[in-house]
Amino acid sequence: MQQEVNVYLFLGFLESGKTKFIQETLEDPRMENGERTLLLVCEEGEEEYAPEKFAVKNVTKVTLESVEELTLENLEAITAKHKAQRVVVEYNGTWLLQQFFDAMPESWVINQMMTFFDANTFLNYNANMRQLVFDKVQMTQMVVFNRFKGEMQKLDYHKVVRGISRRPDIVYEYVGGKAEFDDIEDPMPFDVNAPVIEIEDRDFAWFYRDIAEKTSEYVGKTVRYKGMAAVTKKVPSGYIVLGRHIMTCCEADIAYDGFAVKTNKLLKDIKTRDWLTVTAKIVMEYNSVYRAEGPVLIAEKLERAEPPEETVVTYY
């Protein structure tokens, strides 16, 4: 069996602070465990590494000049050549993360993933290169905003990250070295403890994500929302799927997401693309829509409805 190789993956755009953080990490004596370390650099900015300061021994730096070099065969060859037992990756901010996952050798196991942004340019990057920002945040464990200043509004940065994922910790590192963890609470835009949870048209994406992440907290509760029906051969008899088109990142990734709804014959002749308002109790049970156990809505009331002004919803 191949020995597992722990991978430490550092994401972000050029000059976002990745090199500085990796340099300081490799200078930390606590990181020296005797393993042969491969430092895989996928982009080089103005700041250069100072290997003579590393406390970690047996570090070999390899630079990938282009994304064409990011292949399974190449990474396997590099791993074998240098007998790497640990890999530290400074990833290129313009390369999509999936390209890295597709090229990962089977023995590589991601141990840590962190994303760095320059707070001075982040909001502009998000406005103009949303897909790349989304790509670097969606699966990370921590987002670090470097060069943060007191006059900057944390909420502006917080909203962007939380619009993508609620998974990562957020850290604001100020000019001068002071660092603060984000402590902004994210109340849902609806009352999850109400007798009937009312979901406004604009809030369906948040409801869909929250119930997916915290299903057990919704079981037994009643919800009311408007959605577009889907009736296909994949949907079992007596059920429909009721959901919305959700844009997670950009127009290219708009997808229809919804929940299996047991109609209880409250309405007849429901067709795909019909707009309906459902009041239903949420249970957990197997349904072929999910091909697994999932949240199923048992309809108590089902009414025809007019389409909303915006048929596509987002997380922001």
Please say whether the beta carbons of 86 and 6 come within 8 A: yes
- Give the pLDDT band of residue 2 (cuts 50, 70, 90): low
DSSP-assigned beta bridge partners for residue 37: 59, 86
Q: pLDDT tens digits for 3-57?
A: 899 999 999 999 999 999 999 999 999 999 999 999 999 998 888 999 999 999 9
For residue 2, give both structure tokens: 């191949």
What is the tally of helices (H) and strands (E) in the chain? 8, 15
Q: pLDDT tens digits for 175-225?
A: 888 999 999 987 788 999 999 999 999 999 999 999 998 999 999 999 999
How many CB atoms sit inside 10 A of residue 226's CB? Answer: 19
Provide CB contacts within 8 A for 244, sequence distance 6+. Answer: 204, 205, 208, 227, 228, 256, 257, 258, 311, 312, 313
Q: pLDDT tens digits for 228-268?
A: 999 998 899 999 999 999 987 667 778 999 999 999 999 99
Per-residue exposure over 283-307, b if at least 16 CB sit within 10 Å of its own CB, e if not: eeeebebeeeebbbbebeebeeeee
Question: What is the pTM assigned to this prediction?
Answer: 0.72
Q: pLDDT tens digits for 68-120?
A: 999 999 999 999 999 999 999 999 999 999 999 999 999 999 999 999 999 99
User: What whole-number distance in Å separates Cα of residue 30 and Cα of residue 211?
Assistant: 40
Q: Which of 90, 51, 86 is nearest to 70 (CA)?
A: 90
